[in-house]
Amino acid sequence: MQAVYGDQCVDVNTVRRWVRRFKDGELGQADLSDKTRRGRPVTASDQLHQDHVEELIRGNHRIKQKEIAVALGISKERVGHIIGVLVFRKVCARWVPRMLSDEMKAEGVRISRELLERFEKEGEDFLKKIATGDETWVLHYDPENKRQSMEYRHKESPQPKKFKTQASAGKVMLTVFLEFRTCRSCRLS
């Protein structure tokens, strides 16, 4: 072994001591379980702490592991272990463009059907008559991003939704007009 591992190898006397210990066992088997030792027993993962962690998470889904650790007086690592045992995971909200009411959804369906009927009647000429535009809101503050909206959830629970546009007093409408022109050399006949 020293030829392969060099000075990092275990000493030959240690290997001989191990061989003697394993030979003394029944048919080459030895007790490999940990012996009891002095020191404080691990009690931070008991049922009482699990109940407290679950109560804190259910009270505030956005709570941080550090806040739970401080509240319970245990380490962040133990809190992470307990959260895994409780089958919680931290998920980001799913972004959706706008929060639409049922009336707004119904109006969108009605307009889409009307446009489809006009296309079926007029054909390609109808498409040449359509003008589109867009607008956006510029906010006076930085809205919360997906990472900041992370919450603890069970695997079975639905993913939370986060609307990109929200009602706010601090916003201004921004309108941009663009004119597209094609150059003569870009036109293809």
Predicted pLDDT at 42:
64
Say which residues have a Cβ less than 8 Å from residue 83's Cβ, sequence separation at least 6. Answer: 53, 57, 65, 152
Predicted pLDDT at 133:
62
Give the whole-angstrom CA distance, residue 153 versus residue 162. Answer: 15
Predicted pLDDT at 182:
42
Give the whole-angstrom CA distance, residue 96 versus residue 34. Answer: 53
pTM more than 0.95: no
Contact status, residue 172 vs residue 106, Cβ threshold 8 Å: no
Per-residue pLDDT of the chain (189 residues; tens, 9 = 90+): 777 777 778 888 888 887 777 776 655 566 666 677 776 666 677 889 999 999 999 999 889 999 999 999 898 999 999 998 998 988 877 777 677 788 988 998 998 899 899 989 988 888 777 766 666 666 666 666 667 777 778 777 777 776 665 555 566 666 655 544 444 454 444
Q: What is the DSSP string of 135-168?
A: EEEEESS----TGGG-EEEETTSPPPEEESS---
Query: Domain-by-domain residue ranges, the chain?
Result: 1-31, 42-86, 95-186
